[in-house]
Amino acid sequence: MALLADGLSRLFIDGKLTAGGAGAYATINPATEEVLGEAANADTADMDRAIGAARRAFDETDWSTNTELRVRGIRQLRDAMGEHLEELRELTIADVGAPRMLTAGAQLEGPIADLSFAADTAESYEWTQDLGLAKPLGIPTKRSVVREAVGVVGAVTPWNFPHQINLAKLGPALAAGNTVVLKPAPDTPWVAAVLGELIAEKTDIPAGVVNIVTSTDHSLGAMLSKDPRVDMVSFTGSTATGRSVMADAAATIKRVFLELGGKSAFLVLDDADLAAACSVAGFSVCLHAGQGCAITTRLVVPRARYDEAVAIAAGTMGSIKPGDPSKPGTVCGPVISARQRDRVQSYLDLAIEEGGRFACGGGRPADQPKGFFIEPTVIAGLGNDARVAREEIFGPVLTVIPHDGDDDAVRIANDSPYGLSGTVFGTDPERAAGVAARLRAGTVNVNGGVWYSADVPFGGYKQSGNGREMGIAGFEEYLETKAIATAAN
């Protein structure tokens, strides 16, 4: 089966591919600004049907209790995506603007492989724990703790790493026995819509268990937060929208998982290899045009070597030219849309207004008249109180900030409303580990260590969200706990 263009322009509700009630909308290639085709544009009636289908599938089928079926269905989806890997690769590059090199990792192949972790976890999980016989209040009682599915999960996902985030929600939620309504970002509808076609054609997942609703209407995501038929909302996106999700969900006291923004710090200690550290920092912020919530966008360096650090970072970033994401060597592709490009540019303009300067970059590349490109940019001359050092920009922009020793570096890193990630570089392993332990962040990379893995929980402190995605902790986000006590007389 070849992936059908028709399937990309359909909703997936109650096991059927269907047209959107609000018609269709154009999906744009961010590297060329050309129209790729159409995506289904759902309306409120479509979302209502999707929620109803998910509710029925949870309440009226054995999906939540049939572990073997769930494991088989998830592995079938993994295998189906693998069978169409090259088609999905080209689709991802076009729809997301993701550099080809990243599709071998977190933009495609990694998330497909991670479905194995979800299936394996469900297969081996201790769903019932026997607490043995006891005599609470003098009554002989057999006790057990049972873990079971939450129910209907509304999953709302962003456009930056859509395969990774879509599957990091779908995999564990389904493995735990839930049914799902997925509302992907309108900017990247196809990489979500294709899952409906694959589920329908290639898996034994029953109708209504997965529903995929693409739409330009952001209020449809709010329906998931407000509807009493939905038991949980799993949201990845901006902190501002996360607040709205939490507020909307409060009316029904539904469970909320939030993975939100970040303004993570890359700390360079005074014993570090400055050239290596600053080069790594500059390179990482260019990946996928800086469109990653956990990317370290504040480079915090020893004050005595500030100018040298700025020059090294600028040398690295200035050598990375934004370009065609379909080419194998491209590191920095476009940002997702004209709106996002303009938003990044507004922050670059603000940096100058705040008294900063550009060590490289600062605007649109002159050699890219088409596409939503921004030059990799190093901002110097500002402290941690500047808005460009405190607010999430989501572009290839690095702000370099001086520190006066380890304590000051930790203070700067933690002086943020966010706490998603962080990096520490230093020659002395114990010293670097000690600094890492003091960071108020959910993930920390020390001297180039990699925390991204299916078995490692990901999430943040403070306004970077609550709960964890991936790992056993991420799987258990989708479970309820029930205690059963049986009289043993």
In the residue annotation, 353 being an active-site residue is answered as no
Rounded to an integer, what distance in angstroms lies between the CA atom of residue 454 and that of residue 113? 9
CB 278 within 8 A of CB 309: yes
Give all strands (DSSP E) within 94-243, no chain letters: 128-134, 141-149, 152-156, 179-183, 210-212, 232-236
Catalytic residue among 38, 109, 197, 259: 259
Q: Which two tokens stand for residue 44?
A: 């409120």
Rounded to an integer, what distance in angstroms lies between the CA atom of residue 237 and that of residue 198? 26
Rounded to an integer, what distance in angstroms lies between the CA atom of residue 453 and that of residue 471? 8
Q: Which residues pair with 233 in a beta bridge?
A: 154, 256
- At residue 100, φ and ψ (nearest 5 deg) are -50, -40
> Which one, of 440, 438, 442, lies nearest residue 467 by Cα?
442
Tokens 């997925």 -> residue: 182
Secondary structure letter of residue 253 according to DSSP: T
Rounded to an integer, what distance in angstroms lies between the CA atom of residue 340 and that of residue 276? 31
Rounded to an integer, what distance in angstroms lies between the CA atom of residue 68 and that of residue 70? 5
CB 171 within 8 A of CB 118: yes
CB 432 within 8 A of CB 426: yes
Laid out side by side, the sheet with 128-134 consists of 128-134, 141-149, 479-487
> Which one, of 266, 296, 309, 270, lies nearest residue 405 by Cα?
270
Residue 74 corresponds to which amino acid?
Answer: I
> Which one, of 241, 262, 292, lies nearest residue 396 by Cα?
292
275 class by beta-carbon count within 10 Å (0-12 exposed, 13-18 middle, 19+ buried): middle
> Which one, of 299, 279, 315, 248, lies nearest residue 422 by Cα?
299
How many other C-beta atoms can be found within 10 angstroms of the C-beta atom of residue 370?
A: 11
Helix segments in 302-439, DSSP class H: 306-318, 338-353, 387-390, 406-414, 429-437
Positions annotated as catalytic residues are 259
